[in-house]
């Protein structure tokens, strides 16, 4: 999962948790407040009734009391309301039929003998839960009557539920809006946090690929910015070291190349007899010297080529040429090496091929390199086939051998410089090679506008393919 996605998901989870927590808390707090309000309301109603009852007892105004009782009865949740005298005789009742009676229910009996506010819950004949309140009425510190109200608990619950339904809707609406803002915020935050990390990862990848000019620009004014600065310092130090290495390599190879060339020239002169007649033993030693000097010379040539490629100084002079002579000449030159191992080189080249637009020497170098690898990595009595096909804008050349093959895990790496399949190198006799050949070949093919790739099976052989652009008509 990408860092940005991880950040967004984590932040979103946090936001959901916080919003869910706050919503539940708000809901519970609102419910508690509402219940408290309802209870206060009920107390106020009964207090009001007791007050009016007291005034009507003092003034003997029963009409006022009856009107008030009826008014209270209309309040939602009130089942009945009544005022009795101190002995329990009903003076006013929401049910007119009960006027003058004396109640014998638990609350009535308790209220008659008590001077306190009484609260009683019970279930009536209609299976309704009732909350019964009784408040004594005092005149001059003497108990003169009792005010009573019965509230339907089911209706009270219903009122609470109705009010909470609205609250729930409000909280839900606010939560949804907050969630949307939160999600958008989480994505923006994740983007802001991961952008510099992404830039650094990209920069580090480019530096890793050898692009040491890469500069990572991060302006976040925090640890990430100083990390980017450190990475930039590291890449500029690497660049300095790389330059030193290139300069050193270039001058060393140059200093080696000139004396070596004259050494080879003099060995050649000796062998041709220019310095007098040599006996067979001296000739044999000189040939060994010649072979080894030529190997060293090829190694230095590879190093010089690589240094040129890296400095962008490799010259490619393209012109229109026939490919057949180039391939035939190269095969002719390499034939003695193949013969030493009894390797057959077969060519399957049509003679009506169009011209290619390439550098002749560089193309010769490509084929020599691939052919010498095929000979090197093919056991005795093997076979090498060279084919050329006409393929739209290109000629496609292929070199197949019946050699040891390349393990699949190395296929993509063998075109990198200094890359060799270690197990293979240890099995093959002769010079170890440099691991530069295919890197140079790849550069030369691509610099001429072509492509190179390989197919191989361990134990069966390898086929190297490359394309060369045809001459534009």
Binding interface with ligand ADP (CB under 6 A): 373-374, 377, 401, 403-406, 414, 419-421, 424-425, 433-439, 462
Q: What is the spatial distance between Cα 277 and Cα 341, in angstroms, rounded to a whole number? A: 32
Q: Given the complex with ligand ADP, which of 299 and 357 has the nearer CB atom?
A: 299
Q: Given the complex with ligand ADP, which of 56 and 374 has the nearer CB atom?
A: 374
Nearest Cα residue to 3 out of 186, 188, 194: 194
For 297, list phi and psi in degrees, rounded to 5: -65, -40
Shortest distance, position 180 Cβ to ligand ADP, whole Å: 58
Shortest distance, position 441 Cβ to ligand ADP, whole Å: 7
Shortest distance, position 372 Cβ to ligand ADP, whole Å: 8
- Residue 423 near residue 459 (C-beta atoms within 8 A): no
Q: Given the complex with ligand ADP, which of 116 and 425 has the nearer CB atom?
A: 425
What are the helix (H) ranges across 377-467? 408-411, 422-427, 437-447
Residue closest to ligand ADP, measured at CB: 433
DSSP string, 145-201: EEEEEEEEHHHHHHHHHHHHHHHHHHHHHHHHHHHHHHHHHHHHHHHHHHHHHHHHH
Shortest distance, position 298 Cβ to ligand ADP, whole Å: 10
Q: Given the complex with ligand ADP, which of 108 and 397 has the nearer CB atom?
A: 397
Shortest distance, position 410 Cβ to ligand ADP, whole Å: 7
Which tokens go with 400? 């197949």
Q: Given the complex with ligand ADP, which of 163 and 372 has the nearer CB atom?
A: 372
Q: Given the complex with ligand ADP, which of 7 and 377 has the nearer CB atom?
A: 377
Strand order through the sheet with 394-401? 344-348, 383-391, 394-401, 461-469, 452-457
Q: Given the complex with ligand ADP, which of 216 and 414 has the nearer CB atom?
A: 414
Shortest distance, position 378 Cβ to ligand ADP, whole Å: 7
Q: What is the spatial distance between Cα 10 and Cα 16, in angstroms, rounded to a whole number? A: 10
Burial label for 266, CB within 10 Å (0-12, 13-18, 19+), is middle
Shortest distance, position 268 Cβ to ligand ADP, whole Å: 25
């Amino acid at each position: 999962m990408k860092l940005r996605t991880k950040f967004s998901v984590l932040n979103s989870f946090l936001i959901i948790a916080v919003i869910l927590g706050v919503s539940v808390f708000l809901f519970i707090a609102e419910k508690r407040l509402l219940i408290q309000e309802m209870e206060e309301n009920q107390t106020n109603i009964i207090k009001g009734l007791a007050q009016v009852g007291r005034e009507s007892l003092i003034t003997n105004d029963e009409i006022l009391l009856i009107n008030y009782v009826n008014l209270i009865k209309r309040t939602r949740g009130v089942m009945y309301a009544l005022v009795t005298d101190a002995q329990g005789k009903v003076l006013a009742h929401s049910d007119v039929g009960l006027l003058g009676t004396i109640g014998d229910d638990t609350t009535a009996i308790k209220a008659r003998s008590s001077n306190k506010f009484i609260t009683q819950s019970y279930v009536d004949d209609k299976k309704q839960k009732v909350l019964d309140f009784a408040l004594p009425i005092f005149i001059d510190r003497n108990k003169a009557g009792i005010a009573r109200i019965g509230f339907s608990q089911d209706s009270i619950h219903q009122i609470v539920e109705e009010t909470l339904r609205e609250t729930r809707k409000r909280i839900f609406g606010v939560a949804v809006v907050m969630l949307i803002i939160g999600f958008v915020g989480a994505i923006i935050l994740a983007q802001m946090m991961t952008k510099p990390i992404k830039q650094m990862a990209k920069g580090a990848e480019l530096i890793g690929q050898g692009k040491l000019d890469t500069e990572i620009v991060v302006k976040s004014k925090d640890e990430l910015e100083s990390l980017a600065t450190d990475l930039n310092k590291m890449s500029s130090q690497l660049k300095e070291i790389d330059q030193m290495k290139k300069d050193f390599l270039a001058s060393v190879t140059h200093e080696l190349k000139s004396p070596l060339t004259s050494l080879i020239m003099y060995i050649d002169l000796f062998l041709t007899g220019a310095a007098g007649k040599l006996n067979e033993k001296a000739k044999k030693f000189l040939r060994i010297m010649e072979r080894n000097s030529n190997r060293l010379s090829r190694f230095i040539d590879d190093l010089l080529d690589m240094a040129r490629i890296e400095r962008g100084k490799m010259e490619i002079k393209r012109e229109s040429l026939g490919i057949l002579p180039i391939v035939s000449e190269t095969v002719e030159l390499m034939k003695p090496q193949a013969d030493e191992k009894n390797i057959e080189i077969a060519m399957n080249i049509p003679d009506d091929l169009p011209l290619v637009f390439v550098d002749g020497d560089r193309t010769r170098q490509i084929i020599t390199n691939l052919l010498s690898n095929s000979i090197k990595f093919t056991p005795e009595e093997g076979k090498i086939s060279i084919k050329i096909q006409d393929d739209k804008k290109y000629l496609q050349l292929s070199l197949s051998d019946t050699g040891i093959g390349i393990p699949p895990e190395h296929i993509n790496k063998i075109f990198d410089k200094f890359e060799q399949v270690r197990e293979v190198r240890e099995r093959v006799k002769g010079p170890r090679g440099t691991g530069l050949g295919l890197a140079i070949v790849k550069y030369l093919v691509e610099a001429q506008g072509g492509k190179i790739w390989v197919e191989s099976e361990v134990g069966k052989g390898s086929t190297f393919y490359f394309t060369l652009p045809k001459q534009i008509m």
